[in-house]
Amino acid sequence: MRQNGLSLSISIKQIIMINNYSLSDISSQVRRDIVRMVNMAASGHPGGSLSSTDILTVLFFSEMNHDPKEWRRDGKGKDMFFLSAGHLSPVFYSVLARSGYFPVSELASFRKQGSRLQGHPSVERGLPGVHVASGSLGQGLSVACGAAITKRLSGEENFVYVLCGDGESEEGQIWEAAMFAAHNKLSRLIAITDWNGQQIDGPTDSVMSLGDLEAKWKAFGWEVIVADGHDLDAISAAYKQAKAGSQNGKPKMILMKTHMGMNVDFMQGTHHWHGKAPNADQTANALSQLKETIGDF
């Protein structure tokens, strides 16, 4: 299996250029990438990708200690990010490419035969930024726990981040991991829930009530932070608060309140675009609502 580093074709210009843009410029471009990727692939999951765009934009372009140019699959000496909700691959691939892990032009290969950008993230073809495959839900939090233990055993002070969906927390393994992380006092594990209240079959409240998520995570022994997942300053503050508690003996759960399909009016707030691609007209409509900032791939 390949564990190659960055492709030589990555333009240094691309990495420097990103510094000239505000986080909101970047998130707007990432949303355009998501819509265009899913449209070009005629399949994929735009709804949750759009709801978690701001969460990942702040993480990858502001809060996380990472080095896209020197990325290693073992994450040694760096913060690590795991995407547990693997169907959010469009937003994941976009923030990876836009932060310099691989050429943005590769986003056009999303879901195509032979692509490193598989429908759900995979490591088989060596895509930089992906540590482990995900897609079958509920597993990423456990993997992140393992990574956090390695970092502690190695005396590293880096953080391990993992993004889960709210619907995903219907999986029992999430709560196995919740118990495990608290028992092992994984203070440098920072989990994020994209709390958009929607899943494929409908609102989580009608499919399977999550109840009081905040109280549940607290009861499992976690430090819980609730934030507006579309307010870039609030997101940043939530990450900073989570990092500040690195010695408090509790794993962190940031419940990010979001809207599915955020910033595309006909996709926003509904489960109907969880896993559906927009056609040409819908794509044009969506793109008209999202400012092109850095430039489309």
4 binds other proteins (CB under 8 A): no
In terms of Cα–Cα distance, which of 117, 132, 5, 26 is closest to 68? 5
Question: Containing H/E element for 226?
Answer: strand 223-228
Using an 8 Å Cβ cutoff, are 269 and 261 in contact?
A: yes
Q: Which is nearer to other proteins, 47 or 75 (CB)?
A: 75
163 binds other proteins (CB under 8 A): no
Query: CA 234 to CA 257: how far, in whole Å?
Result: 11
219 binds other proteins (CB under 8 A): no
Size of interface with other proteins, in residues (CB under 8 A)? 39
Q: Which is nearer to other proteins, 33 or 171 (CB)?
A: 171
Near other proteins in 172-191, by CB under 8 A: 172-173, 176-177, 179-180, 183-184
216 binds other proteins (CB under 8 A): no
**Crossing angle, helix 23-41 and helix 232-244, to 10 degrees?**
100
15 binds other proteins (CB under 8 A): no
Near other proteins in 37-76, by CB under 8 A: 73-76
Residues 16, 41, 85, 226, Cα dihedral to 10°: 60
CB of 102 to other proteins, least distance (A): 19
143 binds other proteins (CB under 8 A): yes
In terms of Cα–Cα distance, which of 88, 78, 273 is closest to 158? 78
Query: CA 242 to CA 59: how far, in whole Å?
Result: 12
Q: Which is nearer to other proteins, 147 or 242 (CB)?
A: 147
88 binds other proteins (CB under 8 A): no
Question: Containing H/E element for 256?
Answer: strand 252-257
Bridging pattern class, strands 202-203 and 198-199:
antiparallel
CB of 290 to other proteins, least distance (A): 32
From the list 33-41, 45-53, 122-130, 227-235, the region that binds other proteins by CB under 8 A is 122-130
Q: Write out the two tokens for 268.
A: 């926003």
Q: What is the total residue count of the chain?
A: 297
258 binds other proteins (CB under 8 A): no
Q: Which is nearer to other proteins, 52 or 134 (CB)?
A: 134
Q: What are phi and psi of 209, to 5 degrees?
A: -60, 130
117 binds other proteins (CB under 8 A): no
Angle CA 235–220–260, to nearest 5? 40
Three-state DSSP class for residue 155: coil
Given candidates 95, 148, 225, 235, which one binds other proteins under the rule CB under 8 A?
Answer: 148
CB of 200 to other proteins, least distance (A): 18
Binding site for other proteins (CB under 8 A): 1, 73-76, 80, 82, 122-124, 131-136, 138-151, 153, 172-173, 176-177, 179-180, 183-184
